[in-house]
Amino acid sequence: MKKGYIYTALSAIIFGLMPLLTKIIIARGATSLTIPFFRVFYVTIVLFFVLKIKKIDLHLEKRDLLSAILTSIFGSGITIIILNESYNYVDTGIATSLHFLYPLFVAILCCFFYGEKIKKKQIISLSFALVGIICFMSKGNGSLFGYLLAIASGLTYAFYLVKMDKSGLVKMNALKLSFYLALFTTIEIFTMNLYMQDVVFKMDAIAYGLLLVLALSSSFLATVLLQKGVLLLGSTRASFICLLEPVTSMIVGILWLNEALTFNKGLGGLAIIVSLIIFLKK
């Protein structure tokens, strides 16, 4: 159980470090859809050779294949697309904060579709988490459509976590599962780009190198750690530990992106830490 908390926490921290690299890459000419495309594209190529070297069988049973397709297309893939799209309509801070409503959606999905009861401790913990997320939401202009997109990204990510857990995908070899999720997401984003024409291919070598680092750290290492965490903790517990991500992003923004430490940000970080303490307390 302790390993599950460690795996999930490390995953959240790695994901929380991503805004730093993302801003650097965007400054070198990438777009909001370019980054997620190359993240999963690079991982697909790297994992294919890793699986071949390790001689891991790539065969999937029909049931697992269908679950992997649904999880990637309606979970991880669509989450990346609509969250990045929401940035065009609302401030990124607000969009990211609304995305982190997904622990609530995980608890609701597990309650309604799998009969899991929401305990009193979870309700109290979630209340603190919601306070923290609301505090993170900076004031800014935005449209209702943008808010709905950001909230929807939280719902689709919750589906991703629950589907991995309840379908049994987390019991699959982590590298093999990561390969198929990355492959199907690559196909999905490439297909979307045929209509959106937003993926940029003309970038310098530094941008491509940073994209590789971003892919291996987030779409590979952090994703594998998250899968192991969900396997050991279940989707509900893991989703709460993932709340370390916005706290990490806030610290990164203050230390390296020259973002101001406001009262609301400090209060939000404290509320999420309290939420985690309550949730983890036996």
Task: Give me the pLDDT at residue 51, please.
Answer: 93
Q: What is the pLDDT of residues 228-278, one digit of tens each?
A: 888 888 877 787 788 787 778 778 777 777 767 778 878 887 887 888 778
Question: What CA–CA distance (Å, rounded) separates 239 from 114?
Answer: 16
* pLDDT at residue 187, rounded to an integer: 94
pLDDT at 241: 84
Asked if 196 and 33 touch (Cβ cutoff 8 Å), the reply is yes
Least confidently predicted of 4-13, 74-83, 116-125: 116-125
Residue 1: pLDDT above 70?
no
Give burial (CB, 10 Å; 0-12/13-18/19+) of 160.
buried
Residue 98, phi then psi, degrees to nearest 5 = -65, -35
- The structure tokens listed for 119 are 């305990």
pLDDT in tens, 146-184: 888 888 998 998 999 888 888 888 888 888 988 999 999
The tokens 């959240």 sit on which residue?
A: 12
How far is it, in rounded angstroms, from Cα 188 to Cα 199?
A: 13
Where does the pLDDT of residue 12 fall: very low under 50, low under 70, confident under 90, or very high at 90 and above? confident
User: Could you write out the DSSP letters of every residue in 29-54?
Assistant: T--TTHHHHHHHHHHHHHHHHHHHHT
Give 46's pLDDT tier (boundaries 50, 70, 90): very high
Amino acid 139: pLDDT: 59
Q: What is the DSSP letter of 205?
A: H
* Average pLDDT, integer, range 15-31: 81
Residue given tokens 């024409």 in the structure block = 197
Region for residue 234 given its phi and psi (left: phi exceeds 0; alpha: psi -120 to 50; beta: otherwise): left
- At 172-217, the pLDDT tens digits run 888 898 899 999 999 999 998 888 888 999 899 999 999 999 888 8
Which position has the higher pLDDT, 4 or 235? Answer: 4
Average pLDDT (53-61) is: 90
Q: Is the pLDDT assigned to residue 140 strictly greater than 60?
A: no
Average pLDDT over residues 27-35: 85
Specify burial of residue 62 (Cβ count, 10 A radius: 0-12, 13-18, 19+): exposed
Average confidence (pLDDT) over 6-17 = 87
